[in-house]
Homo-oligomer: A and B are copies of this chain.
């Protein structure tokens, strides 16, 4: 059989167009395809929700690939062991309550299962603004990351979502845009992004789950952006809290 490049090009253009048009109007739009964002997307998609995840990088996974100081192993605590099992990621016991996993297996498996569950992941797209109507965040303004890097002056497009989730990690990019651009008062103690505190894994792992919630009408946080927004401590190369945070938010949104 003969292969025709023009047909290949057409196939990709048309198929992507369909995916993109469909992604313009969804139930939940998640920004950031790190472990928390993907876990959140996974549990939502499994329950039949229309979910898209926008990731600015070429690849997903954020800081999970590199383990601790480039030693590509991660640690997961007791509480999150069940999620690892659900994703069928191999774990080894290091000591009671501490499980080790290969970081590359972990991140690729989570991503694989998330897409299979039905969440659409769009890489290479950045959220450069939000859409607000009557004080409620109801969508995102998107542009190619490459346009940003190349510093080209090109206009964005817009998509709408019933719920927007900021899973962009330390930067809490979407929440900061909403704060700066719309002057919305956040549901934090100060009404503003409070910033992440020094590392304290034990506390962080708990607060990150509690902080995975609504920040202002229509906008939610999970993963490290939860602690960045509500002022909890940062974690090290332990990833249980991340996964629990994504799962918890998914469950809240499903209600």
Contacts and interface: CB of A to CB of B under 8 A. Distances in A.
A12 B70 CA distance: 10
Contact of A158 (B71, B100, B199, B205): B199
Nearest to A105: B115
Interface in A140-159: 141-147, 149-150, 152-159
How many of these chains are in the complex? Answer: 8
Contacts of A78: 1
Contacts of A65: 58-60, 123
12 contacts: A1-B97, A7-B98, A9-B68, A12-B71, A12-B74, A13-B68, A17-B17, A65-B123, A68-B157, A70-B124, A112-B112, A132-B200
A84 interface: no
B198 A129 contact: yes
A149 B152 CA distance: 10
Interface stretch (A20-28, A209-217, A244-252): A20-28
Contact of A75 (B8, B20, B149): B8
A98 B20 CA distance: 20
Interface of A: 1-17, 19-21, 24-25, 58-63, 65-75, 77-78, 88, 90, 92, 94-98, 100, 102, 104-105, 107-109, 111-112, 115-116, 121-124, 129-133, 139, 141-147, 149-150, 152-160, 177-178, 181-182, 195-202, 205, 234, 236-238
A8 B147 CA distance: 20
Nearest to A160: B6
A96 B6 CA distance: 15
A112 B109 contact: yes
Given A130-B198, A150-B149, A159-B6, A11 B236 contact: no
Contact of A5 (B19, B59, B131): B131
Contacts of A69: 12, 142-144, 147, 154-157
A98 B153 contact: no
A17 B24 contact: no
A164 B5 CA distance: 17
A153 B104 contact: no
Q: Give the residue among A2, A58, A109, A115 with the most B Cβ atoms within 10 A.
A: A58
B115 A104 contact: yes
A201 B72 contact: no
Contacts of A181: 195-198
Given A1-B97, A97-B1, A152-B146, A14 B17 contact: yes
